[in-house]
Amino acid sequence: MRNFLLIFLVLGLTACSAPLEHGISDPFEASNRKAHQINKSLDKEVVRPIAILYGDGTPIKVQSVVNNISMNFSLPGHTINYILQGKLKSASKSSLKFVVNSTLGVGGVYDASSRLEFETQKNRFWGDHGKMGCWRGTLFGYNRFRAIQPAGWCRSNS
């Protein structure tokens, strides 16, 4: 009964709120629109032509080397994320893969670790938030300045 009254009270109070005159209040709307327009024009005039030129004009072997180097240099970040998540076995695999590819693979040019049958696992920063019980976007994501929460904003998984 108490829960019903609480729900009824909350719903009743939210029904009394007045809508904003001009829709959603976004203090960063003007700068967001400018940044979006700049991004769209840069994408159309610079990034897309370079991407097309790279895709059409670069041999597959060169693209593979660029991809291998890029993947190799992302591994230390994956290792740190695994450590933050408490996955020490995965962290050691990731760091070992980095060492093997950086040495035997000549700085990551060759993916030597795949020949040794190392597992490839990607791990992102948002995995840390998920492990801590935080929603994506609450601190560094989509709602960056609008939804910064006070200390203790993540629930404990313990």
pLDDT digit string (tens) for 42-88?
999 999 999 999 999 999 999 999 988 988 898 888 888 888 888 89
User: Residue 151 has what pLDDT?
Assistant: 44
Q: Report pLDDT for 138.
A: 45
Whether the per-residue pLDDT at 19 is higher than 80: the answer is no
The one-letter code for the residue type at 108 is: G
Angle at 32 between CA 31 and CA 33, to 5 degrees: 90
- The answer to whether residues 77 and 39 touch, using CB atoms and an 8 Å cutoff, is no
H or E element that contains 49: helix 48-57
Report d(CA 17, CA 8) in Å as an integer: 15
Say what the pLDDT of residue 51 is: 93
- CB 100, CB 113: distance < 8 Å: yes
- pLDDT tens digit sequence for 107-141: 888 788 877 777 666 666 655 555 565 654 444 44
